[in-house]
Structure 1
Amino acid sequence: MTTSRLSAATSILSTVAVGALLVGCSASVNVGTSTPKMSADKLATIVAEKLAATMNQPKPNITCPEDLAGKVGTTTRCKLTAKDGSTLGVTVKVTSVQGEQINFDIKADETASPAAN
């Protein structure tokens, strides 16, 4: 039974990843500082909202380990965690910065990692 739930969760996460890759999520945020930087919490919220909207699913649990610097080419890795504990990596890459606004693309990994035992 645990295996079937894990398989279902991995399947759902894989579907999210494939959908995110096909749609090519992107976002832009006005951060309101002279040196553009977005907090890790705000980034996680925006990534979750974009993935949910793209997949027409509830907002996933996303965590990001660091603030996002507003410099073109900067990347960070966030993590999507499913209810069963399985995870999926999500890469965020800054595509442009216009004044205080940071524009970025979101790309989910193709394969989920199973929950730790």
Structure 2
Amino acid sequence: MRAALARTCAGLALLTAGCSVSASTVQLTPEDVETGVGDALEREVGGVPQEIDCPDGMAAEVGESVRCTLTVPEGLLGATATVKSVDGDRVVLGVEVDEQLLDGTTP
């Protein structure tokens, strides 16, 4: 399943999976973003990377984005999480996964 996830993640260059996270404030913590990215990938590809690292949080405002790193068996993939909508304390994230590993190779 992990190899399939890596292949699938690599092919999701324009994935805009909606993922809702709850935000009690106007700021998403790195952990909020990591959870949202994992939930979106689980729903869209049926699995999650070995590790998701989003070192920064972001404002819960439409258009805000943050870069994350996904650990898969073949190496590291980059991903961008972007706030697509905000409704009260519900924030919908879109996730765009890079086509190539961070070292420039394709899984």
Instruction: Give the TM-score normalised by the residue count of structure 2.
Output: 0.77
The Cα RMSD (Å) is 2.4
2:96 equivalent among 104, 107, 112: 107
Per-residue Cα deviation, 1:67-100 (whole angstroms, up to 9, x for no partner): 121111111001101245x111110111122222
1:70 equivalent among 50, 60, 81: 60
Shift of residue 113 of structure 1?
2.5
1:87 matched to 2:79? The reply is no
- Take 1:97 and 1:48, find their aligned partners in 2: how far apart are those partners? 19
Report SS of the residue matched to 1:106. Answer: strand
From the two aligned structures, give the one with the greater helix fraction.
1
Percent same amino acid at aligned positions? 31
Instruction: Give the TM-score normalised by the residue count of structure 1.
Output: 0.71
* Uncovered stretches (5+) of structure 1, i.e. residues with no partner: 1-8
* Uncovered stretches (5+) of structure 2, i.e. residues with no partner: none
1:98 equivalent among 87, 91, 101: 87
Greater Rg over alpha carbons, structure: 1
2:6 equivalent among 4, 13, 30: 13
